[in-house]
């Protein structure tokens, strides 16, 4: 059951709104869901459309806001896909990479 909850949280974790986390702020790794993951990075022209396609494929409702990026785990939590635009900054990719290790850490 815990894995299902974590998977669901990961599917809904995205950068729906502007990032308001401080890129220099330290955070604990104690809440990592995993310490090892194969990460795939997909860069696309329309991030929101691609993220919504991915959510739909996983049986989730689409996002209602324009996205900078999003990330999704596979069902086993062994690999994570990050979707960004063709031009991206370090903060955005780092933000999504953190989701690959900590799930929905926004809460």
The pLDDT assigned to 47 comes to 97
Instruction: Please provide residue 83's backbone torsions phi and psi, each rounded to the nearest 5 degrees.
Output: -115, 125
Q: Within a domain: residue 9?
A: yes
Q: Within a domain: residue 71?
A: yes
* pTM of the full structure: 0.76
The pLDDT assigned to 12 comes to 40
Lowest mean pLDDT among 1-10, 31-40, 95-104: 1-10
Cα distances from 33 to residues 8, 22, 63, 103, in angstroms, run 13, 21, 24, 7
Higher pLDDT, 60 or 53: 53
In the chain, the number of structural domains is 1
**Is 70 exceeded by the pLDDT of residue 7?**
no
Domain boundaries, position 97: 2-15+35-102
In this prediction, residues 9-27 reach a mean pLDDT of 57
């Amino acid at each position: 059951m815990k894995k299902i909850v974590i998977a669901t949280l990961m599917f809904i974790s995205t950068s729906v709104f502007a990032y308001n986390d401080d890129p220099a702020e330290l955070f604990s790794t104690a809440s990592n869901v995993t310490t090892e993951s194969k990460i795939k990075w997909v860069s696309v022209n329309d991030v929101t459309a691609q993220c919504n396609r991915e959510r739909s494929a996983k049986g989730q409702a689409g996002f209602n806001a324009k996205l900078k990026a999003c990330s999704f785990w596979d069902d086993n939590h062994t690999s994570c896909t990050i979707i960004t635009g063709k031009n991206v900054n370090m903060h955005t990719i780092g933000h999504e990479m953190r989701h690959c290790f900590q799930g929905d850490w926004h809460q």
